[in-house]
Structure 1
């Protein structure tokens, strides 16, 4: 009798866990949809095209960055496509032709991201983010971490940085990336999961500059991200897919930065103020009294 009861209880527990996970996933999906954060990478493209001042940081780095992106992409396809396609054919069959392309693009994009954001375009992305905020009249926010000059050109007004905001690409991020790579052995679903997992990390990283401008401490930042984890994932997935496009991914790195800045500006206008700045505002009011 006890064995039969345990046999009944185990499937029931599995169903309960599955039901709880499904409900949690449904809540996160609803949060992601309601946040509309997935629209910001595309808003970034439109805003970038309609604000020529934001072209300056990209234009200054265009030739070396395109050369790097083209070189990395061609080299990765020449060296890694055939062996990876042969391996993925075992798991994916005829679909391996397409899943391998996405895999190699992802690998090339990651290598390009490491090299370019550490050695070529990190300052240009910072200027693009801050310049977008100035276009949205967020001078007070930008001035917390850099000098803002007088003038009518938002990018031209950007002065010296107080501190370097973007963290270097950490070994942990590289390890995590290669841990997720085997997901590509699962046809279609595995590749989708791989992109989603990459997107979950991309979202918060896109707001690294915003967190610094808000002067958030580590715990404040973690709490802020946790409250918006679905929104950050929904931003990150289309942003990752855009940056996977060969060569054009360079351009999308800048438009994604613009989209992230637009989202930050909208957060400010909705009153999502971090504790440090909120305290500063309160102190300023008290001093006036």
Structure 2
């Protein structure tokens, strides 16, 4: 009996050590990539390039109205019941964790509605315009017509879309969000895990337009995202935290899009190291799967 217990303990230590090594590797990979900085770079780049403001300004009024209505509704009808439930597990911290939870829920609802009905075209224009501003017109030409002329307005150079834009908010993402909600009942750590998981989901979608322009199939996309889980999770986590800020979330939706485009431009220019993975390797692996 004692030997069995010792074996279980030894196995548990082995699994814990393995998980710790994996987590350590992911953190190191995320830090090495610098991907977590791109949402911040997106803010500065957006603020310094007024021509990129046009898509945001065209959608500002309806989206702010939507955000105000959703946040007010959630805090009036959802905050107190959730605070009462979380008080049993989080104690005095329940007020803070419930605010974060309610903001996260509000952000999800706002993103679901706005990205599907209000912001889709504007975010695509912002992403494409940033690529133009970074002189990455070659990759962009695969999915969009560009107007002639060498003028200083990247949004003005954008012509007709040749390919459909970003994927809309997927039902899978919504289901996954609901599945992870109970994590918030775990004091502090649960909320942190919830945000990280949301960040991973958010990160996997930031380069949907870029993958489309590169003409990558699903196998190529999955291979790239799997190999670069840490950088995309790091980007997605910072982006998620920014978009949790009430009323400023619409601004950060656009600056995060700019950040994602800057990241894509750097990948194209080979100025950023994500991992040792290369595009030819992706294509090679994808072709092997096809065989």
Q: What range is the shorter-chain TM-score in?
A: over 0.9
Q: 1:23 aligns with which of 17, 21, 27?
A: 21
Q: 1:213 to 1:276 in 2, by over 3 A?
A: farther
Asked whether the equivalents of residues 220 and 282 of structure 2 are also in contact (C-alpha less than 8 Å), the reply is no
1:120 to 112, 118, 121: 118
State the partner residue of 1:205: 205
Q: 2:75 aligns with which of 50, 53, 77?
A: 77
State the match for 1:62 in structure 2: 60
Tell me if 1:193 matches 2:181. no
- The answer as to whether partners of 2:121 and 2:165 remain within 8 angstroms in 1 is no
Q: Provide runs of 4+ in structure 1 moved above 2 Å.
A: 271-279
| Cα distance in structure 2, aligned partners of 1:129 and 1:276 | 26
Q: Give the drift of 1:278.
A: 8.7
The TM-score with structure 2 as length reference comes to 0.92
Is residue 252 of structure 1 aligned with residue 285 of structure 2? no
CA distance in 1, matches of 2:83, 2:110: 21
Distance change in 2, residues 1:276/1:4 (3 Å): closer
Report if aligned partners of 1:216, 1:274 keep a CA contact under 8 Å in 2: no
SS in structure 2 of the partner of residue 169 of structure 1: coil
- After superposition, give the CA deviation of every residue in 1:52-90 in whole Å (9 maximum; x if it has no partner): 110000011111111111111111111101111111111
Deviation at 1:26, TM superposition (A): 0.5
Gaps of at least 5 residues in structure 2 are: 272-276, 285-291
Task: Tell me what 2:94 maps to.
Answer: 96
Q: How many residues align?
A: 277
Matches within 5 A, 1:27-38: 27-38=25-36
1:214–1:274 Cα contact (<8 Å) kept: no
Q: After TM superposition, give the deviation of residue 190 of structure 1 in Å.
A: 0.8
Alignment match, 1:146: 144
Q: 1:209-237, CA deviations, whole angstroms, 9 ceiling, x for partnerless residues? A: 01101110000010111111100011011
Query: What does residue range 162-201 of structure 1 map to in structure 2 within 5 Å?
Result: 162-201=162-201
Report the Cα distance in structure 1 between the residues aligned to 2:184 and 2:145, rounded to whole angstroms. Answer: 45
Backbone CA RMSD of aligned residues: 1.7
Residue 161 of structure 2 aligns with which residue? 161
Question: 5+ unaligned residues in a row in structure 1: which ranges?
Answer: 280-289
Which of 38, 41, 44 is the matching residue for 2:42?
A: 44
Give the Å deviation of 1:168: 2.2
Q: Distance in 1 between matches of 2:104 and 2:64?
A: 17
TM-score (norm. length: structure 1): 0.93
Verify the 8 A CA contact 2:120 2:165 in the aligned structure 1.
no
In 2, Cα distance between the equivalents of 1:227 and 1:276?
11
Describe the shift of the 1:254–1:46 C-alpha distance in structure 2 as closer, same or farther (beyond 3 A).
same
Tell me by how many angstroms 1:187 deviates.
Answer: 1.3
Cα deviation digits, residues 73-119 of structure 1 (max 9, x gap): 11111110111111111111111111110000000000000000000
Q: Please give the alpha-carbon distance, in whole angstroms, between the structure 1 residues aligned to 2:6 and 2:74.
A: 52
Spell out the pairing of 1:208-287 with structure 2 (5 A cutoff): 208-270=208-270, 274=279
Point out the more displaced range, 213-222 or 149-158.
149-158
